[in-house]
């Protein structure tokens, strides 16, 4: 009933509402700036995935695996392993554990891989291009909904696979070219009022962008920025980390930013009720995108 009420309320709001998580600071322009799209907040047709991930947040448990670089040896295990249940001996792992414990959370065992979040190596981006990148990702989000079909029917087991395939399928230039069309990809304006070459943007950042809404912040005052893709163990939910540095990246600043991101990904800076609300909003947006597509005659009503 709670989900239904949230859904009805959201149906009367704009399609792309603010659901992403900017980590707040007393400083109007924090350095580093950290912005997170949590997999926890996304709707999924897999009810087991939804239930398990929400339960982990409710139980205040966290587990993560972070790649500092593309080198496999750079991985940090934010979960307890071995006889004595130790995390990787790295400042980020220790700071994350400390900050999570301050919020009542604890690092769980590596056995609980279902809801472990995997954080990919960084992709460097121009802070001034982040609006165009968000526009491309929002278009990917819209097209993934259209590609998957009516959200109302995606919980049927044989059709849910279309949804999960769409999460990664649209992060390729071939799909962009086929689905968006050459003209549309170079002229499209979506939400932000910024026109850009969507195809080129998705091609350039194909390994990083996800089919989730991206309410991009203004980063014009920052020198450098990075994006990191986040996914759950089963690849059924995706998220994104955006970190921007005003005075350049240092080891200390990176450690601080990634620690903040890990804490947020676990849901330690939100509530179970807020997660449920975000999922209802995501689902309502999907319904609206699909209904609008049917009304335009571009999607077949089901």
pLDDT of amino acid 217: 92
pLDDT of amino acid 4: 40
Q: Compute the average pLDDT of residues 273-281.
A: 96
In a domain, 12, yes or no: no
Residue (of 238, 187, 232) closest to 210 by Cα position: 238
- More confident site: 227 or 30: 227
pLDDT of amino acid 179: 46
pLDDT of amino acid 260: 96
pLDDT of amino acid 85: 74
Residue 17 has pLDDT above 70, yes or no: no
In a domain, 6, yes or no: no
As a whole number, the mean pLDDT across the chain is 79
Residue 171 has pLDDT above 80, yes or no: no
**pLDDT tens sequence across 95-111:** 999 999 999 999 988 76
Above pLDDT 70, what percent of the chain?
72
Find out whether the peptide bond into 242 is cis, omega within 30 degrees of 0. no
Q: Compute the average pLDDT of residues 161-189.
A: 44
Helices 157-169 + 130-148 axis angle, to 10: 160
pLDDT of amino acid 194: 35
For the chain, what is the HEC assignment? CHHHHHHHHHCCCCCCCCCCEECCCCCCCCCCEEEEECHHHCCCCCHHHHHHHHHHHHCCEECEEEECCCCHHHEEEECEECCCCECCCCHHHHHHHHHHHHCCCEECECCCHHHCEEECCCEEECHHHHHHHHHHHHHHHHHHHHHHCCHHHCCCHHHHHHHHHHHHHCCCHHHHHHHHCHHHHHHCECCCCCECCHHHHHHHCCCCCCCCCCCCCCCCCCCEEEEEEEEECCCCCEEEEEEEECCCCCHHHHHHHHHHHHHHHCCCCCCHHHHHHHHHHHHHHHHHHHHHHHHCCCCCCC
Q: What domain range is 94 assigned to?
A: 21-286
Note whether 163 and 148 are within 8 A (CB).
yes
Grade residue 8 by pLDDT with cuts at 50, 70 and 90: very low
In a domain, 106, yes or no: yes
Dist CA 3 CA 272 (whole Å): 12
Grade residue 2 by pLDDT with cuts at 50, 70 and 90: very low
In a domain, 1, yes or no: no
**pTM metric for this prediction:** 0.82
In a domain, 259, yes or no: yes
Based on its alpha-carbon atoms, the radius of gyration of the chain, rounded to whole angstroms, reads: 19
Residue 162 has pLDDT above 80, yes or no: no
Number of domain units in the chain: 1
Lowest mean pLDDT: which of 97-101, 172-176, 227-231, 296-300?
172-176
Grade residue 302 by pLDDT with cuts at 50, 70 and 90: low
In a domain, 57, yes or no: yes
- More confident site: 194 or 224: 224
Dist CA 256 CA 163 (whole Å): 35
Grade residue 11 by pLDDT with cuts at 50, 70 and 90: very low
pLDDT of amino acid 290: 94
In a domain, 5, yes or no: no
In a domain, 282, yes or no: yes
**pLDDT tens sequence across 105-155:** 999 887 667 778 999 999 999 999 999 899 889 988 998 898 888 998 887
**pLDDT tens sequence across 18-68:** 455 655 544 556 889 999 999 999 998 888 888 989 999 999 999 999 999
pLDDT of amino acid 189: 38
């Amino acid at each position: 009933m709670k989900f239904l009420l949230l859904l009805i309320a959201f149906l009367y709001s704009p399609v792309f509402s603010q659901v992403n998580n900017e980590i707040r600071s007393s400083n109007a322009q924090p350095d580093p700036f950290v912005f997170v799209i949590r997999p926890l907040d996304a709707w999924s047709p897999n009810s087991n995935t939804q239930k398990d991930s929400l339960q982990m947040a409710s139980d205040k448990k966290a587990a993560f695996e972070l790649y500092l670089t593309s080198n496999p040896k750079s991985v940090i295990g934010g979960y307890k392993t071995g006889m004595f249940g130790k995390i990787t001996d790295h400042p980020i792992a220790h700071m994350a554990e400390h900050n999570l414990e301050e919020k009542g959370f604890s690092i769980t065992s590596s056995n609980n891989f279902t809801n472990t979040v995997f954080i990919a190596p960084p992709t460097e981006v121009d802070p001034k291009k982040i609006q165009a990148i968000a526009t491309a990702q929002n278009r990917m989000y819209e097209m993934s909904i259209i590609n998957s079909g009516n959200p109302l029917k995606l919980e049927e087991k044989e059709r849910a696979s279309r949804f999960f395939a769409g999460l990664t399928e649209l992060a390729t230039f071939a799909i962009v070219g086929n689905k968006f069309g050459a003209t549309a990809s170079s002229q499209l304006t979506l939400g932000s009022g910024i026109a850009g070459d969507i195809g080129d943007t998705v091609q350039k950042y194909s390994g990083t962008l996800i089919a989730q809404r991206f309410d991009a912040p203004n980063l014009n005052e920052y020198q450098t920025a990075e994006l990191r893709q986040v996914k759950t163990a089963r690849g059924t939910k995706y998220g994104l980390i955006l970190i921007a540095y005003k005075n350049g990246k240092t080891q200390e600043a990176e450690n601080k930013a990634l620690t903040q991101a890990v804490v947020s990904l676990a849901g330690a800076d939100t509530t179970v009720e807020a997660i449920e609300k975000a999922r209802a909003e995501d689902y309502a947006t999907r319904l609206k995108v699909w209904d609008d597509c049917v009304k335009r005659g571009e999607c077949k009503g089901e």
